[in-house]
């Protein structure tokens, strides 16, 4: 029974947040909501969440850039609300930065360490 009460309270909080975003006060996704943060994701109450606008502002990028990252699954834990707005866990910022700083890209062709004179010598010897 306590679980049902906890779930009901989380749903009421979610509904209140959605109502605040969709009201005419300009507090929706484009404005970043309540400072671009909310504190619910349905399963982890209390976890800090960012809107697409707030995440993009941290990297000096647009909300559409952030939404593209979410659609491609590059932001771990990001989810879409019924009104179409994206929510990104604050922890995803650190994960994204770490992934950008240490890319696991391996060059396909190793760099050659010869010079043009080496090639001319080989060409002349043939």
**Which helix (DSSP H) or strand (DSSP E) does residue 89 occupy?**
strand 86-89
Instruction: Output phi, psi for 65, to 5 deg.
Output: -60, -45
Mean pLDDT of the chain: 73
Quick one: average pLDDT of 18-40? 44
pTM of the model: 0.49
Quick one: average pLDDT of 29-51? 56
Residues 110 and 96 sit within 8 Å (Cβ to Cβ): no
> Going edge to edge, which strands form the sheet with 79-80?
37-38, 49-51, 86-89, 79-80
Residue 81 has pLDDT above 80, yes or no: yes
pLDDT at 111: 57
Over pLDDT 70: what percentage of the chain? Answer: 58
Residue 64 has pLDDT above 90, yes or no: yes
Question: Is 32 or 54 the better-scoring residue by pLDDT?
Answer: 54
pLDDT category at 100 given cuts 50, 70, 90 is confident
Residue 75 has pLDDT above 80, yes or no: yes
Q: Where are the alpha helices (DSSP H) in 1-126?
A: 2-22, 52-58, 63-71, 91-101, 116-125
- CA geometry: angle 26, 87, 82, nearest 5 deg: 75
Q: What tokens were used for 122?
A: 């080989």
Neighbours of 17 (CB within 10 A): 20
Residue 44 has pLDDT above 70, yes or no: no
Question: Is 16 or 22 the better-scoring residue by pLDDT?
Answer: 16
Question: Is 4 or 66 the better-scoring residue by pLDDT?
Answer: 66
């Amino acid at each position: 029974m306590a679980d049902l009460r906890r779930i009901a309270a989380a749903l009421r909080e979610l509904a209140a947040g959605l109502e605040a975003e969709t009201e005419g006060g300009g507090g929706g996704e484009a404005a970043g909501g309540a400072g671009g943060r909310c504190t619910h994701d349905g399963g982890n109450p209390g976890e800090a969440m960012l809107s697409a606008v707030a995440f993009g502002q941290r990297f000096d990028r647009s909300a559409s850039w952030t939404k593209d990252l979410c659609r491609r699954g590059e932001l771990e834990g990001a989810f879409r609300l019924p009104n179409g707005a994206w929510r990104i866990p604050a922890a995803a910022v650190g994960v994204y930065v770490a992934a950008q700083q240490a890319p696991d890209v391996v060059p396909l062709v190793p760099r050659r360490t010869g010079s043009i004179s080496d090639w001319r010598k080989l060409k002349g010897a043939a």
